[in-house]
């Protein structure tokens, strides 16, 4: 008569589960910093992937002058609505563009805080660019739908 399986003797042909590790309450400081660094790098990769396409660059420059409806963005390019929608989706996913609904229309605008944050986060660590990102090192205003170049009225 066969012996029934127990914790010590698994059933014939059954795989043994690997031993479980007890979850630690805290991660070592170096490991936590490495996770944050990977997240920052992933965010930077998403940012650069989003701005690497010439069409998306043009869309960002267009939105820098003020908000636009999706129809207005499509009207600026000789591309299909679905292609522009895909580009806007990439920009939204990267956090560079905000969208809001007004009835049936979707209005897009530049997410200035995110764009500036990504630029500062990456370029601020480069020795040659760091002085440009120090507080008070450049004039404020202009861009992002404000200032002389881009007003909200566009």
Q: Which residue shows structure tokens 């500036």? A: 116
Q: Which domain holds residue 96?
A: 31-110
pLDDT at 25: 52
Task: Copy the structure tokens of residue 4.
Answer: 């029934």
The answer to whether the pTM exceeds 0.85 is: no
Q: Assess if residue 25 is contained within a domain.
A: no
Q: What is the CATH number of the domain that holds 95?
A: 1.10.10.10
Statement: residue 16 has pLDDT above 70: no
- Torsion on CA atoms 134, 62, 93, 55, rounded to nearest 10: -110
Name the range with the highest mean pLDDT among 75-79, 118-122, 132-136: 75-79
Q: Assess if residue 26 is contained within a domain.
A: no
- Reported as a pLDDT band with limits 50, 70 and 90, residue 5 is low
Task: Copy the structure tokens of residue 154.
Answer: 């566009």
- Reported as a pLDDT band with limits 50, 70 and 90, residue 122 is confident
- Reported as a pLDDT band with limits 50, 70 and 90, residue 149 is very low
pLDDT at 126: 81
Statement: residue 33 has pLDDT above 60: no
Q: Give the span between the Cα atoms of 149 and 154, in whole angstroms.
A: 9
Q: Assess if residue 51 is contained within a domain.
A: yes
Q: Give the span between the Cα atoms of 143 and 140, in whole angstroms.
A: 9
Q: Give the span between the Cα atoms of 99 and 89, in whole angstroms.
A: 10
SS (H, E, C) the chain: CCCCCCCCCCCCCCCCCCCCCCCCCCCCHHHHHHHHHHHHHHHHHHHHHHHCCHHHHHHHHHHHCCCEEHHHHHHHCCCCHHHHHHHHHHHHHCCCEEEEEECCEEEEEECHHHHHHHHHHHHCCCCCCHHHHCCCCCCCCCECCECCCCCCCC
Domain count, the chain: 1
The average confidence (pLDDT) of the chain is 77
Higher-confidence residue of 6 and 132: namely: 132
Q: Assess if residue 80 is contained within a domain.
A: yes
Q: Assess if residue 87 is contained within a domain.
A: yes
């Amino acid at each position: 008569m066969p012996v029934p399986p127990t914790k010590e003797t698994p059933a014939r042909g059954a795989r043994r589960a690997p031993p479980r590790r007890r979850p630690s309450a805290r991660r070592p400081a170096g490991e936590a910093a490495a996770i944050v660094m990977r997240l920052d790098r992933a965010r930077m990769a998403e940012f650069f992937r989003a701005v690497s396409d010439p069409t998306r660059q043009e869309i960002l420059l267009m939105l820098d002058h003020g908000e636009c409806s999706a129809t207005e963005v499509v009207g600026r390019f000789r591309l299909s609505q679905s292609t522009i929608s895909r580009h806007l989706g990439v920009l939204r996913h990267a956090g560079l563009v905000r969208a809001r609904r007004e009835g049936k229309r979707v209005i897009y605008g530049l997410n200035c805080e995110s764009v500036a944050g990504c630029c500062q986060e990456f370029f601020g660590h480069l020795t040659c660019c760091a002085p440009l990102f120090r507080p008070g090192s450049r004039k404020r205003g202009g861009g992002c739908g404000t200032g002389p170049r881009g007003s909200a009225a566009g």
